[in-house]
Structure 1
Amino acid sequence: MTTDAVALSADLIRCPSVTPDEGGALVLLQSLLIGAGFSCTRVDRNGTPNLFARWGAKGAAKTFGFNGHTDVVPVGDARAWSHDPFGGEINSGVLWGRGAQDMKSGVAAFAAAAVDFVRATPPDGAVILAITGDEEGPGRDGTRALLDWMADQGEAMSVCLVGEPTCPEVMGQMMKIGRRGSMTFYIEAEGVQGHAAYPHRAKNPLHALVALLGQMVAEPLDPGTKHFQPTSLQITTIDCANPANNVIPARAKATVNIRFNDAHTGASLIAWAHELAQGITTQTGVDFTLNPDISGESFVTPPGPFVDLVADAVQAETGMAPELSTSGGTSDARFVKDHCPVVEFGLVGDRMHQVDERVPVDQIETLKRVYARALKAYFA
C-alpha cells in the first residue's frame, strides 16, 4: 500500500497553520512518520513549531535530507475565495486551499515518497525530514533552529532537497541551485528643521536623502555573474512625516531593498552604502544612520553529482530538462547551504500567496515520483 500524497496534501491544508500557529500540521506528519519507523522530535524554539524526523541510523555515511515548511501566509479576505481556504477541497482534478502550492503539497509529496521508499526498499543510510512552521515568518526560529539542534545532537544531512515551488509555468521547467542574497537598508537622514523661505538657516534632510538614493540607483551594481542575474536595488519607501508645506523637516527616512548576486556580500554592500552616505554628509552636513538587515547571503550549489541527480529525476518524470536557476526571492535553502549541498525543486508556483491558491493533483503525484526517483538514485 502506497502513501497518497494528494490526500495528505488535502489533510495538511485543513490544518490552519498560519505563521506562527502549528494548526495540527506537524502533529499529522509526526503520526504518519512514526508509523513508518521514523524517529521524530519536536524542535520548537521561542514558540515556533518545528519537526525533525529520521529513518535509519544516526550518523549514517549517506543521509538524504528533505526540507520544507507547513506554515502559510494569511488568507486575506476569505469572502474573496471561491473555495474554503482551509477546506482542502478537490474539484475537477484540482486541489484548492492555502498552502496548496506553497508548500503543503511539496511537504506531502516528499513525506509520502520517503515513507514509501523506506518501507519498500530500506536504504543503507538514513533519510531526514526537517520541517518548519516558520518559513513565511521571521525565519529566526524555524529551519535555523532545526539546524542548530542537529549540530548539537550530532545529526547531519549529506545532501538536502528543499521542496519549495520552483517551476514558473510548467512542471519540470526549473530547479533552483542557489539564491540571491537579500538585505534591507533602513536609512535615516538627520538635518536641521527650518522655514522653507529661509533654507540657509536649515539643513534639508530630504535633499541629502534624495541625493544618496540617486547615487545608489545611478549605475547598476554589476552586470550579473555566471549563475546569477544582475543585482537589483529597489527604493521601497521615502517618508518624513511632515504635514506642513512651509517647513523643512528635521528628519527623513527611506527603505532600500537589495537582491544581490555572488559579486557581493552583505558586508561589502554595507561598506559601499556607508561610503556613499559619508560623501553626501561631507557635501551637505546632513548625518545618516544606516541600519542594515541581511536576511540571507547569496549562494550557489555548483553543477555536479547532486545537482545532476535531481535534474535527471526531474527529466525522467516530467520529460523536461530543468533550467538551473538562482532567480526569485529567498528560501530556507539559504540556511541549509551552510550545512550541506542543497538544491530546490517543487511545484508550479503561479498561484502561491494568492486568493484561490490551488494546484492540479497530477502535479502533486508527479512531484512525489520525482522525489522517489531521487531517493532511489542517491542510495543506488
Structure 2
Amino acid sequence: MKVHKKILGSIALSSLLLIGFSGCGSDDTAAAPAAAESTISPYQRIAVLSGTWAEVPAVADTIASYVVTTDESNVSGLGYPTNWVVAGANPASGETYETTDLLPIPGMGSAITGTSRVIELCNGAYATQATNTGRFHGSALPCEVSVHSDGTNIYVDMLDADAIFSVFFSDLNDTQKTGLKSVASQVKSEIRGMVVAALDDNNETYTESTLAMGPKWDTADIERLSYKSPYTVYSYKLQSGAAFVKGTDDKALAAKIIEILGDDTSTAENRVPGLSNASAWRSGRPEPLAIPGVFVAEACSPKYAKMATKLGNEYITALPCEITVYVDENDPTGETLSISFLNPNFMFGTMFEGAVEKALADEVLTKADAVLYSTLADKVFADLRMIVDEAVQTSSLGTLVTTPVIVAP
C-alpha cells in the first residue's frame, strides 16, 4: 500500500489560488490596515429555483440533456475550447444518454426528504491533463454537479474546481501546478456556464448564486492539508509475470469490482461476507467510467450516503466513493496494475471538516449520533477494501499478488 504524500510547493499553490494578502508596499510611513485573507471552499452554489423534490429529476435532466446535445466547442454552442459530455453518455463513442446516467443520492430536507441527482461531467482534454500528472489522480474525477431541494426551493451546486485542485493536486511540482491552476479555473467557469445556459435554454426561472459552502480554507489551511494524502494506492502483479494490456485488463478489473458491488436488487453483501451492517453497497453504474488513462468504479451505500447528507445537502457532490483502476505508468514494463482509492478518512476529515460539530450545535445530531460519525470513515474504507479484495481474488486476469507501489521519480 502507498499513501501518496503531498509535501512540496503548497505555499506556492496557496498563493496561486488565494488573493487578499496584506503587506503591499507603500511610500507612506503609516501601515495600511491588514486586509482580510480570502478563503476558498470545496462547494459552490450555481443556481436556485422554486420547486420541490418532485421536480429535482426534471431539472437535472434539463442540465444533462443540454450538455449531451450541445457541442460546447462550437461557436453556436458556448465557444469553449473543447466539448463536454455526461459520464455514461458520450455520443462520440456511440453511447446514448438516459436518465439513469444521473446518480441518485439520498438527500435531506427540512420538510420532505427526497433523492438528489448527481450529474457527472467529463471533458476529455482537461481530464487528460489531470491524469497525465499521475493516473492515481483519476479518483478525483469526474466533475460533479448536484441538484437537490429543501422542499421549497431547488438548488444546483458544484464542486469548486479551484478548491479541489488546491487539495487533490498539491503533490505536483510548481510548474505542473501553474499549468493546471488555469485549467481548474477554466473548468469551474465552463461548468457554471453550461448549467446557466441549460436553464436559460429551457426557459427556467432561477437566481444565479456564487454561495461558497462547506469548510473555508485559507493559505494556512491549504499548507496544513498538503501534508495529508487524499489517495491510497494498492498495486498488483500477475504471478505469471505477464504484462497487463492497457485499456483491456484495467477495464476488466474495474468491471469485476462493479460485479462484486452489485446493483439495487443484489448488493455486495451477497458476495462479500463481513461488510458493515446494513451498508448495502452497490455500484452507481453498470459499467466502468472511462476517463483518459484509467477506469473508475463508483461505490454507493445508501446508509453512509444518508449519514453524509444528514450533515447538509451541500455535501452531495462529495459522493459517491471512487475506485480507480489503471495500468501503472510508473512501471515501464507494464507489469503493474494499480487501484487508487479516495481515502475516506481524508475525505471525511477534509471535505466534511467541521460538519459534525455544526450539526451537533444546530441540534441536527444528538451526541449519540455524533459518536457514530467517529468511525464512519474507517468502516467505509474497510468495506471498500474487502470488496476490492474479492474482485482481485476472483478476477479472470489470473492470480494477482500485491507489490510495492512504484512512485514516480
**More strand by percentage:** 1
**Fold shared per TM-score above 0.5:** no
Higher Rg: 1
Which is richer in helix? 2
| TM-score band w.r.t. shorter chain | under 0.3
TM-score of the aligned structures, taking structure 2 as reference length: 0.24
Larger relative CO (CA 8 A, sep 6+): 1 or 2?
1
